[in-house]
Structure formats: structure tokens, C-alpha cells
Amino acid sequence: MNPVVERIETALKSAEASLTSAESAAQVEEVRISMLGRKGLFATLTKDMGSATPEERREIGRAFNEGKQRLQDLLAQAEERIKGSGSGEKALDVTLPGRCGAMGHRHPITQMIEDCVAIFRRMGFIVADGPEIETVRHNFDALNAAADHPSREMTDTFYFADGRLLRSQTSTVQIRTMDAVKPPIRIVAPGRCFRRDTPDATHSMNFHQIEGLYVDKNVSMADLKSVLQIFAWELFGKDVRIRLRPHFFPFTEPSVEYDFSCVVCGGKGCNVCKHSGWLEIAGAGMVNPNVFRNVGIDPEEWSGYAFGMGIERLTMLRHRISDIRNLYENDVRFLSQFN
């Protein structure tokens, strides 16, 4: 074989080997320059052709043209492979801005629960909880609800065939806690409750409450009132006043409902407080001695207070939400306002 043709073949073989193992566009470029560059193989061969006979020239010319074509195909293949594998320098531009996933956030109800819990924890309460499926004893009997209390009706409470029910209030956790531990007790219990209400702007069949229970020696209504006042200040600011009104609950005696001065108008009167200047927030009272007896705590030795409030109500007041159903429809356009 003509020595020049041989040089072409050997050079092509080694170029092919480097191209199949090349891992970057720079390595491919290196081969291109060594073969096709100004000082590359094909350029130097052109110079050497001068001394060849016309017959040799034809042979070399063919090898030259075919070799060049073959080399160009190999270069193109290698480039394609590197681009496709994503490891080529051109495929990765580290200067491009990163792609960020959309950030979610906690639901406004969850935020309210966490804020309430944080406030009560600072006052020495710990968190307790109980099941959403409950017994009649925990939801009614032990809480001193009269046998004919209307809230026991099938029309008010969801019952299972086995007689258990979906708890209608977090007061069940008062019983669960006092069954389990001896006083002194300082707990708050946030959780989901269920009632057979017809849904409208202020009613939902499931909703959340946060319950509080404090049992110790010589607990008084003044202790209750101060804790509720501090809670109101912490949640809605230093201008909020509270008031207690006489009420009835089976599990507290005396019982009260408590109001916050309107957090929207400051007490002057507006649509939200129905021009009364006050907002009904929740129920509370001193633990009824019958409840203590039902859980084996001596009412002569121990006294306590309890309170329970609606989380949805507080959330709606905080964000001026006028329809409770918004909180349960999971419409991202609504929820994303509460980040």
C-alpha cells in the first residue's frame, strides 16, 4: 500500500478511537483540529503530494477524499452523541436562573390553631388530644348532659350504628384527660368536631374548636377571666376588651359566654359585630362538680375552669372572611391569600 494512503488510514483509525471515547465537545474539537486544522493531517498531506506520480496521485486523492468524508461523519456522530447525553458543555448552561417549585403554605385554619396553641403554651398549658370518633360517655354522659339534652338527638349529632358518634365538641378531651391523669391539669385541645348543621355562611358540618381545661386548688372565675383577656390581647392586639355574659352549659357551673370587643370597628359598631360593638367568641365556666365526680376527682379538694372556642370564627375574624365555606373548598386562588 502507498505509504501516504497508509498514513491516512492509521490516522483515521486513531481519530475514530478518540471520537468514540470522547466525553466532551472540547475533546471532539481537539480531534477536528489535529486532522483538519491548518497544521493538521490533511493539510500536511497536500504538501507531500507534490512528489507523487500521476498514478499514485489518483490513489492518494481517492483515499484523501474518502478519508475526509469519513472523518466528518465521525465528528458529526460524536457531537450528536455528546449533546444527546446532556454531558456536553453546550447542553448545560450553569448561568441560567434556577427553576423554583411553587411554595405552599399552611391552611389558615392550621395557622390559627398553631397561633392559639403557642399563646396558651406561653401561659403554661400543654396540648392534649382525643379521637374524633367518640363514645356517648365522653361526648355527653360524663360531661353531665341531661338525658333529654337536645344536642344528643340524631338530628344534631352524627351516630354510628354501634352507638358511637362523631364528637360534637372538644369537651370530650376534658374527660379523656381527667380519666388519665391526676390534677393539677393545664391543657388545651385543638381538634375537629362534627354537627348535623345545614351548611350556610356561618355553619359547617365539620369545624374546629380549641378546648381549655385548668384544674388546681382554689381556681376562680378571676383566673379564667385573666387567661381569656391575655389570650384576646395576644391574638388580636392590646385594644381588645373582653366581657363575660351568664349562660348555661351542662359541664360548667356557673357558665358564661365571652365576647371580644369588635376587632373590626374597635367597638364602635359595624356590620361584622351587627352594630353591637361585641363579638361572641366562645363558652366557658367553672368545671361542674358533677363532671369531677364522673371522673373520680374530689370536687371538695379541686376546682377548675374550662373554655371552648371555634377556630373558624377566629380565623374569619382575623382575615375578614364572610363565608365559612371558603375555608373548605380548597380553592387555591382563595387560600394563596393567607401566606
Q: Are 259 and 241 in contact (CB under 8 A)?
A: no
User: Which of these segments, 68-76, 91-99, 232-240, 303-311, binds ligand PHE (CB under 6 A)?
Assistant: 303-311
208, three cell numbers: 374546629
Q: Which residues pair with 308 in a beta bridge?
A: 211, 283
Cβ proximity to ligand PHE: between 19 and 215 the closer is: 215
Residues 175-214, mask of contacts with ligand PHE (x by CB under 6 A): ------------------------------------x---
Q: Out of 306, 311, 316, 317, which residue is the one contacting ligand PHE (CB under 6 A)?
A: 306
Q: Among residues 307, 314, 315, 324, which is the contact residue for ligand PHE, using CB under 6 A?
A: 307
The answer to whether residue 157 forms part of the interface with ligand PHE (CB under 6 A) is no
In whole angstroms, what is the distance from residue 129 CA to residue 109 CA? 17
Q: Nearer Cβ to ligand PHE, position 269 or 289?
A: 289
Helix (H, G, I), strand (E, B) or coil at 139: helix
Considering only 115-123, 262-270, 306-314, 327-335, which stretch makes contact with ligand PHE by CB under 6 A? Answer: 306-314
Nearer CB in complex with ligand PHE: 140/249: 249
Which residue in this structure is represented by grid cell 374548636? 209
String marking each residue 244-283 x if it binds ligand PHE according to CB under 6 A: -----x--x------------------------------x
Q: Which among 202, 200, 24, 190 is positioned nearest to 111, based on CA atoms? A: 190
Given phi > 0 = left and psi -120 to 50 = alpha, else beta, which region is 47?
alpha
Among 139, 144, 169, 294, binds ligand PHE (CB under 6 A): 169
Q: Which is nearer to ligand PHE, 113 or 284 (CB)?
A: 284
CB nearest ligand PHE: which residue?
A: 308
Question: Three-state DSSP class for 167?
Answer: coil
Q: For Cα atoms 214, 308, 271, give the angle at the middle one, nearest 5 degrees.
A: 140
**Angle, helices 54-85/3-21, rounded to nearest 10 degrees:** 0
Q: Please name the amino acid found at residue 21.
A: S
Instruction: List interacting residues with ligand PHE (CB under 6 A).
Output: 169, 171, 211, 249, 252, 283-285, 306-308
